[in-house]
Amino acid sequence: MMFDQALQGRPSWLDLPGSAPRELSVARWHADATGGDSVLLDACTGPTLDVGCGPGRLVTALRSRHVEVLGVDVSPEAVRRTTARGGAALHRDVFGPLPGEGRWHHVLLADGNIGIGGDPEALLRRVHRLLRPAGTVVAEVEPPGSGLTTGPARVRTGATSSGWFEWARSDAESVRADGFLPLWHRERAGRWFACWEKP
């Protein structure tokens, strides 16, 4: 799978044509939740779906706060690592059937996962269907002024690279969140986050 080498803890980079290669935050993914993660965690007070949960640091952190939480990821390696940490996770695609559709209080799109599928607008339409009324989506976004970049991407680990897949990077201002009301946009520990509410 595209992120499996990074999920195994190996230094990795994301290549997106037209942009400089970006080193993935592998060490942060595998560590306990800290720093800017508090913005994500504090925003989730009820049943939460962590989309693209990776090795499960946010799933286990929310569980320790007694929040009902489920991780989903297209990578079996991510699911294995999340469950090994004591979290609950399913090997699923966010665009496929998921449990609790229309009933989740919060959906997390951490670590740049607003880019899943290469179309943030389509991803948010899907998230809208997952949330209950007054539910929120909390996303990690690019710094203000970064704009929106979409296209084929790949993960590179040493001389090995994944196949190409569709990905996106976006700041909050460039995300078309139709059907949502913006709640807040803030920075913490050098990372940027945005939250939208489903009316």
**Domains in the chain, start-ordered, CATH in brackets?**
4-197 (3.40.50.150)
Do 21 and 171 contact (CB within 8 A), yes or no?
no
Question: Which pLDDT tens digit goes with each residue over 157-184?
Answer: 887 888 899 999 999 999 999 999 999 9
Do 34 and 107 contact (CB within 8 A), yes or no?
no
Positive or negative, the Cα torsion across 28, 34, 36, 38?
positive
pLDDT at 19 (0 to 100):
83
Residue 5 has pLDDT above 80, yes or no: no
State mean pLDDT over 195-199.
98
State mean pLDDT over 124-133.
98
pLDDT at 18 (0 to 100):
80
The pTM assigned to this predicted structure is 0.95
Residue 60 CA to chain centroid, in angstroms? Answer: 15
Report the distance separating Cα 176 and Cα 180, nearest Å.
9
- DSSP per residue over the chain, as a string? -TTHHHHTT---EEE-TTS--EE--HHHHHS-S-TTHHHHHHT--S-EEEET-TT-HHHHHHHHTT--EEEEES-HHHHHHHHHTT--EEE--TTS--TTTTTEEEEEE-TTGGGGGG-HHHHHHHHHHHEEEEEEEEEEEBPTT--EEEEEEEEEETTEEPPPEEEEEEBGGG---TT-EEEEEEEETTEEEEEEE--
Question: Which pLDDT tens digit goes with each residue over 12-57?
Answer: 999 988 888 999 999 999 999 998 999 999 999 999 999 999 999 9
CA distances from 137 to 26, 152, 163 (A): 23, 25, 29
